[in-house]
A and B are shown apart, each in its own frame.
Chain A
Amino acid sequence: MNTVPEPAPPGNPAFAPLIEMRGVNKHFGELHVLQDIELTVGRGEVVVVVGPSGSGKSTLCRAINRLEPIERGTILIDGQPLPAEGKGLAKLRAEVGMVFQSFNLFAHKTVLQNVSLAQIKVRGRAKAEADAKSRSLLERVGLSAHADKYPAQLSGGQQQRVAIARALAMDPKALLFDEPTSALDPEMINEVLDVMRQLASEGMTMVVVTHEMGFARASANRVVFMADGRIVEDRAPEDFFSAPESARARDFLSKILKH
């Protein structure tokens, strides 16, 4: 693991922005899915994005590594503007790991190959070196016994942990999680959240789109609440959950917390 400094709260002079979104706008046809998004994520910060479905939170997450191109505004990663499609973008994506709702492990590769492939082809590591790193990461997520299986032979929770190991293998500066537990059976959610909690406590910079409020409360430095393509609230988790400012957030919380 790369060593990351202690998370520094915004306002602190040591606060170094890693991801910055400035005036970001995007439409899906008529739908204005991202409206004037302003978001800064500091190094080592864990930002959890919550909100009703269709609020644009997934799109926001995917825009950060340009899986969704934006129409207006700028996105800076580590001070560098996100380049257009091409070599520069590929290089930048290697620095920002992504974990998907549907895992997206390479179906034709074994677990070990999944974790090693981009290390070899993108980072240019020797196969033995990559495999050694992959095995130690699989050990970390508790899956070293499954290294030679194919993704289809694993449970959803196991697949998602492999996906996290695959992202970590690139030594990313930040990790994006796009609803990482939404496709999982309830009993598997915790094994994935455990890995994420561990990463958060180690100081990994994370942007997490999720419906897991427990994770947001325990591990987030900040909670960003989105509705209708806008960031409505951006606050510390305690403040957000105990005293949401906006009616939208109060309504949202009342729906998800009471059942």
Chain B
Amino acid sequence: MKTLTDNWSTYWDGFLGTLSLFAASAVLSLVLGVLMAGFRVSPVRPLRVFGTVWVTVLRNTPLTLLFFIVVLGLPRFDITLPFYTFAVLALGCYTSAFVCESMRSGINTVPSGQGEAARSLGMSFGQTMSLVVLPQAYRSVVAPIGSVMIALAKNTAIAGSFSVTELLGTYRTINELGYSIIWTFFWIAVGYLIITLAISAVFNLLERRVAVSR
């Protein structure tokens, strides 16, 4: 317990760092993921191709490599951003590929007649998706998106190796002060558990809500 109380502010900063990385990347990944899922089922071929390439590249590349590409690659094109922003970009884009695929499997659970009925009434592709298909896909994607979000929370740990303040990285500071490595990591693990269990709880709640409205 001494390890925690003595280093409270270090832990707290790390915890907040992880939380904010998670929140920003989660928003980015959900927005991009839904957009890419829309691309992948759109009637426009170039959009479909773009969505497929996006998912294929990002889903099949190690996240650490993606970090290197963003952190070392983007500055070559004179794009210099804070490390935090780079980290959010890497995490958000990477996770969006998984969000996209979860969304797409959800979209495929909606009978094709729903989309046909919407189109036959004169709705555009965007209206068909946002008013008819996605609301019905939503209930079947809550659980898989929850898993993706938990994975994202844990993946934020990689950002620590790229000069971003986050929870896992606090072990270096605390360890240098001579605290037991086991207890250092124990409290770090507790911090992650708080975040991931909170995400689980939120998604359980969402799942129960969509189950009721059925």
Contact = CB atoms under 8 A, between A and B. Distances in A.
A43 interface: no
Interface in A118-172: 118, 121-122, 163, 166-167, 170
A106 B118 CA distance: 8
A121 B120 contact: no
Contact of A118 (B113, B116, B123, B135): B123
B122 A104 contact: no
B114 A121 contact: no
Given A91-B122, A97-B120, A104 B113 contact: yes
A67 B127 contact: no
Nearest to B113: A104
A203 B113 CA distance: 28
A67 B119 CA distance: 8
B131 A117 contact: yes
B120 A65 contact: yes
A91 B43 CA distance: 17
A108 B127 CA distance: 15
A87 interface: yes
B77 to A, nearest CB: 35
A121 B135 CA distance: 16
Contacts of B120: 65, 67, 93, 96-98, 100, 167
A184 B123 CA distance: 27
Interface in B111-136: 111, 113-114, 116-124, 127, 131-132, 135-136
Nearest to B120: A98
A93 B118 CA distance: 10
A67 B122 contact: no
A100 B116 contact: yes
Interface in B54-85: none
B121 A93 contact: yes
Contacts of A98: 117, 120
A167 B117 CA distance: 9
Nearest to B124: A90
Interface string B33-49: 00000000001000000
Given A85-B43, A117-B131, A122 B116 contact: no
A102 interface: yes
Given A107-B136, A121-B131, A94 B116 contact: no
Interface residues of A, number: 28
Contacts of A107: 114, 136
Interface in A23-66: 65
A208 interface: no
B132 A106 contact: yes
Contacts of A90: 119, 122-124
Interface string A97-115: 1101010111110000000
Nearest to B138: A108
Contacts of A87: 124
A170 B116 CA distance: 16
A126 B115 CA distance: 24
A122 B114 contact: no
A108 B122 contact: no
Contacts of B136: 106-108
Contacts of B117: 98, 100, 104-106, 163
A84 B116 CA distance: 16
Nearest to B132: A106
Given A104-B114, A106-B132, A121-B131, A94 B122 contact: yes
Contacts of B122: 90-95, 118, 122, 170
Contacts of B131: 117, 121
Interface string A172-183: 000000000000
A105 to B, nearest CB: 7
Contacts of B116: 67, 100, 104
Contacts of B124: 87, 90
Contacts of B135: 108
Interface of B: 43, 111, 113-114, 116-124, 127, 131-132, 135-136
Pick the 3 closest A-B CB pairs, nearest first: A94-B122, A104-B117, A118-B121
12 contacts: A90-B119, A91-B122, A92-B122, A95-B122, A98-B120, A100-B117, A102-B113, A106-B114, A106-B117, A106-B136, A117-B121, A121-B123
